[in-house]
Amino acid sequence: MTRPGNGVDAPAPDGVARRIVDRRTGLPGTRAVVGGLLVAVAGVSGFLAWQQASGAADTSYAVAARSIRPGQSLTAADVRFEPLDLPAGLAASAFADASALEGRVALAPIGDGELVQLGQISDPGPASPAAELSFSIARDRAVDGRLRSGDLVDVFVTDDAGTTAVAEAVQIVDATAHDDGSFGTTGELTITLTVTDPALRAPIIQAVREGEVTLVRSTHMSGSGG
């Protein structure tokens, strides 16, 4: 005889009936169902929040389309625009319009893909004509070789007459070290300067050729003097 939901009475070889229990999977309780729904809702909410956070930004800002060197006059071709979600403070110093960059000059190196910011470029206005010149200098006369592209330096020359200031706040375009790899070597640097004042070009060249030039970093100084 079969009893619904419990089992089956089946005859055994010895004639004694034995019960075969029919196990059934229980249904989840109310608390389990509610808990599952809450987890599902939380998962959907998290996905929506992630989707909103990873959505396209409303504003595109200028980033360097190629490496930009100090002293380089900027044009629209030097930048591209990428949609970026910037904090208010950072957005205030970024550029959303290419025309705002025209004619400005890079004051520091800007890497390919780097956000162009107000502190990296000059004020608006016609760019001054710039010339570049290079020379070798010992590390101990160039801030122990720690000069970098974008630094401002004051140029001094020492000769038989003494030490004289030649130029102030001249920008370094490149500083390349030349070490021979031996222990304790002082080494030399090749320094490339951007000279925007034509009147300074001859004095700097004269100082390099006939005297001993020393560079004093003035990047973080409020003023410099001889």
pLDDT tens, position by position, 117-162: 988 887 776 555 678 899 999 999 999 999 988 788 999 999 998 9
Q: What is the pLDDT of residues 6-37, one digit of tens each?
A: 555 555 555 555 555 455 545 455 555 445 54
Task: Kindly indicate the confidence band of residue 2, based on its pLDDT and cuts at 50, 70 and 90.
Answer: very low
Cβ within 8 Å of residue 177, ≥6 positions away: 139, 145, 187, 188, 189
Kindly provide the b/e burial profile for residues 163-175, where b requires at least 16 CB atoms within 10 angstroms of the residue's own CB. eeebbbebbbbbb
Class of 60-120 in CATH: alpha beta
Q: Which residue has the higher pLDDT, 202 or 107?
A: 202
Q: Which of 80, 85, 81 is nearest to 54 (CA)?
A: 85
CA–centroid distance for 165 within its chain: 36
**Is the C-alpha dihedral spanning 108, 111, 114, 116 positive or negative?**
positive
Task: Tell me if residue 141 falls in helix, strand or coil.
Answer: helix
Mean pLDDT for 109-118 is 90
How many Cβ atoms from other residues are within 10 Å of residue 125's Cβ? 9
Task: Tell me if residue 127 falls in helix, strand or coil.
Answer: coil
Task: Tell me if residue 216 falls in helix, strand or coil.
Answer: strand
Q: What is the predicted pLDDT for the residue at 47? A: 43
Contact between 190 and 134 (Cβ < 8 Å): yes
Q: Which of 167, 159, 171 is nearest to 226 (CA)?
A: 167
Q: What is the pLDDT of residues 43-81, one digit of tens each?
A: 444 544 544 455 567 899 999 999 988 778 888 899 999
Task: Kindly indicate the confidence band of residue 182, based on its pLDDT and cuts at 50, 70 and 90.
Answer: low
Q: Say what the pTM is.
A: 0.52
Q: Is the pLDDT of residue 224 over 50?
A: no
End-to-end CA distance of the chain: 115
Q: Which residues pair with 73 in a beta bridge?
A: 105
